Amino acid sequence: MSIYDTLNPEQKKAVLHDKGPLLILAGAGSGKTRVLTYRIAYLIEHRNVNPWNILAITFTNKAANEMRERVDKIVGAGAENIWVSTFHSTCVRILRRFIDRLGYDRNFTIYDTDDQKTLMRDVCKYLDIDTKRIPEKSILNAISKAKDELISPEEFEKRAGHDYTQRKYAAAYMEYQRRLKASNALDFDDLIFKTVELFMNDKEALTYYQNRFRYIMVDEYQDTNTAQFKLIHLLASGINEYGEREYNICVVGDDDQSIYKFRGANIYNILNFEQAFPNAKVIKLEQNYRSTKNILNAANEVIANNKGRKQKTLWTDNEEGEPVSFTLFESDFEEADRITSEIKRVVESKQASYNDFAILYRTNAQSRIFEEKLVLKNIPYKIIGALNFYARKEIKDILAYLKTIVNGKDDISVKRIINVPRRGIGLATIDKVNDYAVLNDISFYEALVRARQIPGLERTASKIEPFVSLIEGLRSSINSDSYDLTGIIDDILNATGYLKELEEEGTQEAEERIDNIYELKNKLVSYVETAEIPTLNGFLEEVSLVSDIDSMDESKDNIVLMTLHSAKGLEFPYVYICGMEEGTFPGYMAINAENPEEEIEEERRLCYVGITRAQKRLSLSAAKFRMFRGEMHYNKPSRFIHEIPRHLLKITSPDKKTVYKFADDDFSKESGQTSAYHLSQTHYKPFVTPEPKNFGGSNLGTIDYGIGDTVKHVKFGTGIVTNIVAGGKDYEVTVDFPRFGVKKLMASFANLTKVD
DNA sequence: GTGTTAAAGGTTTTT
DNA sequence: CCTTTAACAC
């Protein structure tokens, strides 16, 4: 018996697929990573594929590391030659080798969102763009979108036509790009864009990688954007030794889990895969191995409300499990308090450990209140993505020094540190240097080197010179062979007096900053230890491309808190999804969008992702009111709650003492505008044992269901009885069907059957 | 050139 | 609510 016999028939088909394009539509929890790793092993073992010729692309480093680990385990020797990495890392690696062909230096810097903003501010100032009318952020957004769609500045300008705003965007894009190049820097989107550009313009580079990557696997394919699609399409279009194109590309995705449209993900990449790659084989993985029947059914019911999906129905052999629970709390405060207490209770009763729990929410801001409660109750926790370690001021300062050392053309970094710590170099001086640099077409740093020649800087030049020699000194030390790279941060701290300044401050905040800097040093040390050829640039690259989720450590016993987005690809025995209110989730941005239907569908997919993270128990909750931007907001429970059939839900009071069988009205589905005047009217009636429903009239027949019961209708499916009125010869039964809304039916015609 | 304070403004989600 | 920017005193 081989390892492949442990797969189900569909999984096996996917693993044993030979050549040509393959689309695996893998539902949540259907074992897609397993299929991918087994497929890699199969190719190597049984198809004589050289590990060297395999490329596996994921979206996060965490996913890449996991795949690497699993592949290592089943492939064994040779596995290290498989290229497993994220889109962005893959592109950096390619560009470090070939970007000189596009006129950049190979030691280019990667700009993060902060750097982008700073650069764009300069651009707007230079172009006289009124940022009150056109904010930098919206320009950057437009540029990012353009890059995702492979639209160059020139093309953008063409398309702008005579539209005023569009022309401004175009001009900003042009100048922004010019400055990036002058700074020898690339932003995140450029990493993909420039790699595609390289491949389009340089046949040699393209052929090199086409020959190298004969087999390509892409995970989370539904989240690829147009540029990423183009990239893998180019790579997969190589010609084999018989002069044929094989398109050995295997993508794994789930259109129902596409949640990154805002980041440019193009859903048509997956929906039209078969058109883009003729003769593509499609395999659906529909068996879920993760969740209980109740959880999976809830997920299926919710996602069924979306249109335009690839048809598939997830099923499971797992046990029924508990019903999904829903609790409506009074406030966000109570929500956080009760949930954290409940988790603590479960853990203390030894039924589970903290790392079995995840608390998921729509926005990062929601983590705050949980954090307060967790600290108060001494519960170990880890918040993912709240504030990025690398976005902290002190870290960015040190990194700016490092970037300056590596790439002197990086004006943004040089300007950041020119007066940090204070050297008495102010705005006036910086402006003069800047003007001189622009005039002479040199970088800001080069202008600093020539400070003495800059008119009007006779006095401040003496303040600039020590800075220049400081950088020069550091630069020459890292270039000496005997230099220990791990000492660079200490050298910076000592030479600049950065550390001393913090120490003298003596505040708690300063202490934390110092700790953070040492933390950064730790990361540098472990980088130097693990990297094959450690370089400063390599370290900076690693630092730029990490996401917070990469730092998640499953072996640590703490509750994890994160956004629903971050939770994709993960699973937990116990999952709490909180803030399930109209306006929070789905968010008000989606509700008030110009195309709400589309946006709500994306939110619904997000909800689907959230629900399907849970293995054993899923707890949903909402709060009647919640603090948002310092104000109280009263919101109705989310429409997504309504979309879960009542027979799958157990609705409990905040103290869990009362289990409601039936939720009264006002779970209405009209758009939940966030309004202080719109008090939540939701009340619950405690469940009363259904009395035999004999409503007096003896000529009436009897029915075996009552208010609060779940009943089944041939056409409308299951619903909950909200009212029964005896009228004449028949009962008028009001039923709330999650999918069809509230219907009034005559009992004798409707033929309703009770479900329990 | 630096430091402090008041007012304004703004938020999904992230590699 | 918290962060960022503007204004003003030193």
CATH, residue A85: 3.40.50.300
Q: Confirm whether any atom of chain B, the nucleic acid strand, is less than 7 Å from CB of A667.
A: no
Residues A94 and A173 reside in one and the same domain: no
Residue A30 annotated in ligand binding: yes
Nucleotides of C under 7 A from a protein CB: 1-2
Residues A95 and A241 reside in one and the same domain: yes
CA A463 to chain centre: 44
CA A297 to chain centre: 25
Per-residue pLDDT at A678: 32
Side chain identity at residue A129, one-letter code: I
Write out the H or E segment, with its range, that includes residue A744: strand A741-746
Active site residue A132: no
Would you say residue A755 lies in a domain? yes
Q: Identify the sign of the CA torsion A582, A585, A591, A595.
A: negative
d(CA A104, CA A182): 9
Q: How many domains does chain A have?
A: 5
Per-residue pLDDT at A40: 94
Would you say residue A75 lies in a domain? yes
Residue-by-residue DSSP string for A442-498:
--HHHHHHTGGGSTT-TTTHHHHHHHHHHHHHHHHHHHSTT--GGGHHHHHHHHHTH
**From A10, A32, A394, A722, active-site residue:** A32
Q: Using alpha carbons, select from A491, A567, A571 the residue that is nearest to residue A524.
A: A491
Residues A221 and A133 reside in one and the same domain: no
Give the range of the structural domain holding residue A717, as residue numbers without chain letter.
Answer: 689-756
d(CA A287, CA A9): 11
Report CA Rg, chain A: 30
CATH, residue A730: 2.40.10.170
Would you say residue A399 lies in a domain? no
Residues A12 and A88 reside in one and the same domain: yes
Per-residue pLDDT at A424: 87
Tokens for A602? 């994306």
Domain finish residue from A139, A165, A183: A183
Active site residue A96: no
Residue-by-residue DSSP string for A297-345:
HHHHHHHTT-SSPPP---EE-S---PPEEEEEEEEHHHHHHHHHHHHHH
Q: Identify the sign of the CA torsion A645, A646, A649, A651.
A: positive
Residues A475 and A521 reside in one and the same domain: yes
**From A12, A19, A33, A157, active-site residue:** A33
Residues A570 and A614 reside in one and the same domain: yes
Residues A89 and A113 reside in one and the same domain: no
d(CA A676, CA A673): 9
Q: In sequence order, what are the residues at sequence separation of 6 or more whose Cβ sits closer than 8 angstroms to the Cβ of residue A696?
A: A726
Q: Confirm whether any atom of chain C, the nucleic acid strand, is less than 7 Å from CB of A368.
A: yes
Residues A599 and A618 reside in one and the same domain: yes
Residues A60 and A11 reside in one and the same domain: yes
d(CA A468, CA A448): 7
Residues A337 and A203 reside in one and the same domain: no
CATH, residue A155: 1.10.10.160
d(CA A392, CA A548): 13
Q: Confirm whether any atom of chain B, the nucleic acid strand, is less than 7 Å from CB of A113.
A: yes
Tokens for A502? 């913090």
| HEC secondary structure over A274-294 | HHHCCCCEEEEECEECCCCHH
Pick out the nucleotide with least CA–C1' distance to A132.
B9
Per-residue pLDDT at A667: 40
d(CA A248, CA A270): 16
Residues A270, A308 contacting (CB under 8 angstroms): no
Active site residue A220: yes
From residue A255, alpha-carbon distances to A283, A302, A566 in Å are 14, 14, 17
Beta bridge partners of A637: A581
d(CA A445, CA A178): 17
Residues of chain A by 3-state class (helix, strand, coil), percent to 5: 50, 20, 35
pLDDT < 50 positions in chain A? 662-700, 728
Domain finish residue from A478, A511, A542: A542
Residue A462 annotated in ligand binding: no
d(CA A143, CA A188): 11
Residues 621-650, chain A, CB closer than 7 Å to nucleic strand C: 627, 629-630
Residues A54, A560 contacting (CB under 8 angstroms): no
Residues A670 and A704 reside in one and the same domain: no
What is the model's pTM?
0.85
Q: Using alpha carbons, select from A712, A710, A707 the residue that is nearest to residue A686.
A: A707
Q: Confirm whether any atom of chain B, the nucleic acid strand, is less than 7 Å from CB of A629.
A: yes
Task: Tell me if residue A58 falls in helix, strand or coil.
Answer: strand
Q: For A379-405, what is each residue's pLDDT tens digit?
A: 999 999 877 788 888 999 999 999 999
Tokens for A480? 């000496």
Residues A521 and A432 reside in one and the same domain: yes
CATH, residue A505: 1.10.486.10
d(CA A650, CA A327): 9
